[in-house]
Amino acid sequence: MAFWLIVIVLLLASAALLLLPALANSKQSNTPSRDALNKALYQDRLTELEQQGLLAEQPEWSRELQQTLLDDIPNQPATAVRPINRYALLPGLLLLVLVSVGLYLKTGSRDQVIAWQQVKAQLPELRQRLANEQQQPLSVEEIARLGLALRSSLQHDDRNINDWMLLGRVGMALNNATTAIQAFERAYQLAPENSEIRLAYAEMLIRSADPLDNQQATAMLIKMAAEDHSNLRVWSLLAFNAFEQQDYQRAINAWQMMLKLLPADDQRVAIIQRSIEQAKGQLAE
């Protein structure tokens, strides 16, 4: 509604710019000319002299008035300015409106805007389907729509931590590392002490191809491991990140810490032991 109000105001302003010169010329055409004013003054002065009886006594005054009138009136008559007919401007106004609306429909991406508004309206429904695991899972296209709707919503409420986290998970589902990292980073800035947010952000930094992101993830995980020695996910991410950066000793230490925390019959024990042997082989080389 606000957009169309702006369009109407702009069209009215353009129409005013088109009509004002014509109206000004019309007013000028209605004003009396200089010659008509001189003639009127001459008649008034002549009538005044006749009423006073001065013309009979001083006839030369009449000749002087006539000579003054002739001096004021130019030899060549002034060209009459024909006023513009107001109704002649109606086709121009109609053309202005048609061209403006046509250009908007051609270049204004109206279909994309309508589709975007529809996606924004679907956000509550997509949230509900995502939260209810018994319903049909979202397709890739619907996940992309959810991401677009979340970005639109966050433009108006950029301090919604839950939506930033959800947008990060959407980025992960779509293999869009840039979106995921930026979303988790924003959530981390809003709640730097939230362990879930810190882990999600660190995990995305590990997946980044930028070595600086990997180093930042290492520093975050080391700090979290010092704060909570029993967090298996922290040790797992720390070990994986260290192994990817060829810091095999750090990876071995993290996996050995996990072995101390896991029960002996846990299925992950065998996988961790093989990972330790692989890291020791790489370290020996």
pLDDT at 47 over 50: yes
Chain centre to alpha carbon of residue 58: 85
Instruction: Give the Cα separation of 13 and 93 in Å (integer).
Output: 11
Q: What is the pTM for the complete model shown? A: 0.61
Local confidence band at 92 (pLDDT 50, 70, 90 cut-offs): confident
Instruction: Give the Cα separation of 160 and 258 in Å (integer).
Output: 34
Q: What is the pLDDT of residue 60?
A: 60
Higher pLDDT, 17 or 81: 17
Q: Evaluate whether 151 touches 122 at the Cβ level (below 8 Å).
A: no
Residue 131, H or E segment: helix 123-131
Q: What are the backbone angles phi and psi of residue 129, rounded to the nearest 5°?
A: -65, -35
Instruction: Give the Cα separation of 161 and 183 in Å (integer).
Output: 9
> What would the mean pLDDT of 21-32 be, rounded to a whole number?
55
Q: Evaluate whether 238 touches 250 at the Cβ level (below 8 Å).
A: yes
Instruction: Give the Cα separation of 100 and 98 in Å (integer).
Output: 6
CA distances from 232 to 182, 188, 228, 241 (A): 25, 21, 9, 14
DSSP E strands in the chain: the ranges are none
198: closest CA among 243, 158, 165?
165
Q: Give percent of the chain with pLDDT exceeding 70.
A: 69
Instruction: Give the Cα separation of 250 and 239 in Å (integer).
Output: 7
240: closest CA among 260, 266, 258?
258
Instruction: Give the Cα separation of 258 and 234 in Å (integer).
Output: 10
pLDDT at 244 over 80: yes
Tokens of 280: 């020791």
Q: What is the pLDDT of residue 31?
A: 47
258: number of Cβ within 10 Å: 21
Q: What is the pLDDT of residue 82?
A: 57
> What would the mean pLDDT of 98-124 be, rounded to a whole number?
75
Helix, coil or strand: residue 40: helix
> What would the mean pLDDT of 205-215 be, rounded to a whole number?
91
Q: pLDDT tens for residues 147-174?
A: 999 999 998 889 999 999 999 999 999 9
239: closest CA among 224, 223, 258?
258
Q: pLDDT tens for residues 226-239?
A: 999 999 999 999 99
Q: What are the backbone angles phi and psi of residue 125, rounded to the nearest 5°?
A: -65, -45
